[in-house]
Amino acid sequence: MAALGIRIDGKAAAERVREEVRSRVEAMADRVRPGLATVLVGDDPASAVYVRSKHRACEKVGIESVHVELPATVTQSELIGHIDDLNARPDVHGILVQLPLPEGLDEKAVIERVSAAKDVDGLHPVSQGRLLAGQPGPRPCTPLGCMRLLDEAGVDPRGKRAVVVGRSLLVGKPVALLLLERHATVTLCHSRTTDLAGEIGRADIVVAALGRPRAIPGAWIKEGATVIDVGINRIAEGLVGDVDYESAIERAGHITPVPGGVGPMTIAMLLSNTVEAALRSVDADV
């Protein structure tokens, strides 16, 4: 039987990213103190938990945080007004609108209203265009986290066959572009892919972002492949990924667990994007 694959520790990797951010914040203290604003609309408890953890993470690395909390009854134009205020504040370098927004609010319009310079989520069409064009700019946090985990595992995508399952704007498409940028040969799969098992079976790197609990069995994984599981699915047993971890670790070379893999990286990369945005703001002033 093949040796068990190596578990990629996302918690430890995220701690290393936070430590890097902390040192960068210290080193830039005489120029600018990075500030991140969060906008929370409504009373969804999960969203409130996410926002609180972002604030705690900011505090630990010396990033200033600003919080705007609005009732679910806020109108589109009031919400846009708050975004405009944050766009104008010189002490705010990144703006994060916690999604999903309550029904009746136009998410796309809100995301597009955030100044592209303060888009630390990398979801603004300008940021997405920059990614497509290979120009520098903020990249979406979860995809950046996936790439960092490959680096942490010592896996260089250059020349490798990579299969990304899922084509959302949030995860699948940007991960595919980031892998392409690092010279992988990329296949992007989705719900109409006819032979998912065959595609995955040829892959040296698999990024699973389909949002279906344990949909990818270990038997599909090529021996020695690297598996990055983005999925977060709550089932009766608890949180599980899109890959069946127990069987996949028997074949993979490296694999991320769920929880404790990609999840912890997302906020760490948000902090890193905020530092980049703050640096760009002072460089732009020069």
Interface residue list for ligand NDP (CB under 6 A): 142, 165-168, 170-172, 189-193, 196, 209-212, 215, 230-233, 262-263, 266
Least separation in angstroms between CB 75 and ligand NDP: 27
Q: Give me Rg for the CA atoms of the chain.
A: 19
Report the 10 Å Cβ neighbour count for 104. 10
Identity of the residue numbered 77: S
Identity of the residue numbered 160: K
Our CB check for ligand NDP shows the closer of 39 and 146 to be: 146
Q: Cα–Cα distance between 139 and 234 in angstroms, integer?
A: 27
Our CB check for ligand NDP shows the closer of 93 and 214 to be: 214
Asked if residue 25 lies in contact with residue 34, where contact means CB atoms within 8 angstroms, the answer is yes
Least separation in angstroms between CB 111 and ligand NDP: 14
Least separation in angstroms between CB 80 and ligand NDP: 24
Q: Among the residues of 4-62, which ranges form H helices?
A: 10-27, 45-61
In three-state secondary structure terms, 218 is helix
Our CB check for ligand NDP shows the closer of 190 and 202 to be: 190
Least separation in angstroms between CB 268 and ligand NDP: 10
Our CB check for ligand NDP shows the closer of 38 and 142 to be: 142
- Which residues lie closer than 8 Å to 36 by C-beta, 6 or more apart? 54, 58, 63, 64, 65, 66, 92, 93, 94, 95, 96, 120, 270, 271, 274
- Based on the number of CB atoms within 10 Å of its own CB, is 70 exposed (0-12), middle (13-18) or buried (19 or more)? middle
Tokens (6 digits) for 191: 């719900």
Residues marked active site are found at 54, 98, 121
Kindly report the backbone phi and psi dihedral angles of residue 126, in degrees, each rounded to the nearest multiple of 5, phi listed first.
-65, -40
Our CB check for ligand NDP shows the closer of 122 and 166 to be: 166
Asked if residue 82 lies in contact with residue 70, where contact means CB atoms within 8 angstroms, the answer is yes
Q: Cα–Cα distance between 111 and 95 in angstroms, integer?
A: 10
Q: Cα–Cα distance between 205 and 225 in angstroms, integer?
A: 6
Our CB check for ligand NDP shows the closer of 92 and 216 to be: 216
